[in-house]
Structure 1
Amino acid sequence: MSTPTTTTTTLPPKYTDSPLPLIPTPKFLTGKTDSFTIEASHMALSHNAFIRGFNTVYQQAPRVKSPSDKIDFAGYCLAWADCVYAHHHYEETEFFPNLDKAAGQKGLMDGAVHEHEAFQGGLNKFKEYLEENLTEWESKELIGIMDEFKDALHGHLRDEPGMIVELGRYSTVERPIDILGIAEAAGKKQVNLSFMFNTLPVFFLNMETIEFEGGMWHGVFPPLNGLAKAVMLKGVPMWHSGRWRFVSCTPEGTLKDLAV
């Protein structure tokens, strides 16, 4: 009598916050609700989306095998790199200069700019490698490049929110700094249709809000509601959907299984 053959299917594992750990928000750590703490917390949440994006690449790269998956994954990786670059470009060209102007001082965030420089070369190398090897990149080489800049990147993402909190001392009754308004105005200048469809999903869909810090940011940040939320989290990702399957989170803000 023959023994029945059983087939086992290995499902992809669930995303985990590694190798880079998430960073806490200043509001969660201190309970403060002043505008500088809130803006610093928004920055920390944004940085955590970049961290989860990094981790999704790091965890999934060794599992991507087919040429079609490789080109989708390369597109995802490049979108992540472009999102990080756009964030720091917005800071250096709009956010930081306008903070200096409001405070009447120069170079308040020069430390953050120097931190950008510390990992920018590695990020450029990451992008160049993928652009030159869209379907032939090797996970060992890709992760090796990521290892070269991951500590400098994470150190910056961890430290910058605290720098924002410290700027509160420059805001006085005589010269108040509307840091939330400055950040909002600067951010709006970075978004265009190309960025929205080709890059933004890697930001919004790497933002877990259900469990992080007890869910205190769910429905609060990112500030999307109603139709805008549906468009950004479900409509826009239909474009280049092959790329966005590699994200860490569902549109509802929960962690999901890896794509491969």
Structure 2
Amino acid sequence: MANRTPPMYTDAPLALIHTPKFETGKWPDHSLMDLLLKDDPFTIEASHMALSHNSFIRGFNSIYQQAPRVQSSADKSDFVGYCLAWIECVATHHHYEETEFFPNVDKDAGQNGLMGQVVHEHEEFQGGMDRMKDYLLQKEADFSGDELIAIMDSFKQPLHSHLKAEPGAIVALAKYSTSDHPIDILAIAGAAGKKQVNLGFMFNTLPVFFLNMETATFEGGMWEGVFPPLKGMAKTVMNKLVPMWQSRRWRFVSCTPDGEVGQLAV
């Protein structure tokens, strides 16, 4: 009998990215790493962004790897819900960047268009994500894995290029923060992030973010309990209780509720 055990998730076709904070610790004498890691607000916010982007990458990869293997109509219907949640999560993230995060960075800096290149990068892959969404809404459980992969192939390169580049663009904002125009980057990002979340988003979309977040070993586990800032009961609620709603959808994620890379559903 053929082995039908689903495979473990792997970081393909898109590779993960390292955080700017981790990158500052690349030094031959590892005993000095803690002293060398940067903790300025721009490095920290850029690192949070990189971790968020890795969740999007794992979500993309988990869809890409499982799409050809989903067979039954019931499973395909659940998988479509998972795909649409991933699209909504990424699109909402970029919407609030453009309407809240970036405008308030400009306001604090007393300048305009500081993140204009990033907005342009959004435009380069948004059309492909829209095609993916329209295709899934049209086909529903009748979608073809090969056709879905072809759509994802059409925008994976500009998406990945953006996800890799944006953290560095946030680090570079530090040069615009002056005594006359200080940029409170962490406060701006925190306020923008809170505006993304409502009850519908929390139950129908947010698990695709938290359950594609590998924190146990990534970069030596340095982000465990730090980002996302979930510990104890809060982590249990967001990673175990909330996903009980739409649970069949979330079985396609790449990670376990404990932040470890997991076995795929199919």
Q: TM-score range by the shorter chain?
A: over 0.9
Residue 230 of structure 1: how far off its partner (Å): 1.1
Q: How far is the alpha carbon of 1:10 from its aligned partner? A: 2.4
CA offsets 1:119-169 (integer angstroms, 9 cap, x no match): 000000000000011110000000000000000000000000000000000
SS for the counterpart of 2:253 is coil
Deviation of residue 195 (structure 1)? 0.4
The answer on 1:240 being equivalent to 2:234 is no
Any unmatched runs of 5+ in structure 1? 1-6
Correspondence 1:18 to 2:24:
no
1:220 to 201, 204, 226: 226
Aligned to 1:57: 63
Aligned pairs for 1:142-161 within 5 A: 142-161=148-167
Q: Which amino acid aligns with 2:144?
A: E
SS for the counterpart of 1:68 is: helix
* Higher CA-based Rg: 1
AA of the residue aligned to 2:99: T
Q: Which amino acid aligns with 1:142?
A: L
1:69-88 deviations in whole A, cap 9, x for unaligned? Answer: 00000000000000000000
User: How far did residue 112 of structure 1 move?
Assistant: 0.3
How far, CA to CA, are the matches of 1:16 and 1:8 in structure 2?
22
Distance across 2 between alignment mates of 1:163 and 1:24: 14
Q: Indicate the residue corresponding to 2:236 in structure 1.
A: 230
Q: Which runs of 5+ in 2 are unaligned?
A: 25-36
Q: Deviation digits for residues 179-229 of structure 1, max 9, x if unmatched?
A: 001100111011000100110000000000111111111111001122221
Equivalent in the alignment of 1:253: 259
What's 2:216 paired with?
210
Rounded Cα–Cα distance in structure 1 between residues aligned with 2:170 and 2:180: 20
Output the amino acid matched with 1:20. Answer: L
Separation in structure 1 between the aligned mates of residue 109 and residue 2 of structure 2, nearest angstrom: 63
1:8 Cα deviation (Å)? 4.9
Give 4+ residue runs of structure 1 displaced > 2 Å after superposition.
Answer: 7-10
Structure-1 separation of matches of 2:180 and 2:109: 11
**Normalising by the residue count of structure 1, what TM-score does the alignment of the two structures yield?**
0.96
1:196 to 2:190 alignment: no
Task: State which drifts further: 8-17 or 193-202.
Answer: 8-17
Q: What is the DSSP-based 3-state SS (H/G/I as helix, E as strand, rest coil) of the residue aligned with 2:56?
A: helix
Partner-residue secondary structure (3-state), 1:63: coil
1:15 corresponds to which letter in structure 2? Y
1:119 equivalenced with 2:129 (yes/no)? no
Provide TM-score, normalisation by structure 2.
0.94
Spell out, residue by residue over 1:31-89, the C-alpha distance to the aligned partner (whole angstroms, 9 max, x if none). 21100000000000000000000000000001100000000000000000000000000
- Say whether 1:91 aligns with 2:82: no
Aligned-partner Cα distance in 2 for 1:216–1:150: 28
Q: State how far apart, in whole Å, the 2-side matches of 1:130 and 1:197 are.
A: 20
| RMSD of aligned alpha carbons | 0.8
Deviation at 1:175, TM superposition (A): 2.3
> In structure 2, what residue type is equivalent to 1:27?
K
CA distance in 2 between partners of 1:209 and 1:231 (Å): 17
Q: Secondary structure of 1:51's match?
A: helix
Q: 2:182 matched to which residue of 1? A: 176
SS of the aligned residue for 1:133 comes to helix
Tell me the CA shift for residue 172 of structure 1: 1.4
Q: Give the match for residue 27 of structure 1.
A: 21
Deviation at 1:176, TM superposition (A): 1.6
**Which residue among 44, 47, 56 is the counterpart of 2:53?**
47
- Can you list the C-alpha shifts for 1:1-29, whole angstroms capped at 9, x where unaligned? xxxxxx45421110000000000100000
AA of the residue aligned to 1:176: P
Q: Secondary structure at the match of 1:43?
A: helix
Query: Structure 1: which amino acid aligns with 2:114?
Result: L
The 2-side partners of 1:190 and 1:53 are apart by 19
Q: For 2:79 and 2:237, locate their aligned partners in 1 and report how far apart those are by CA, in whole Å.
A: 23
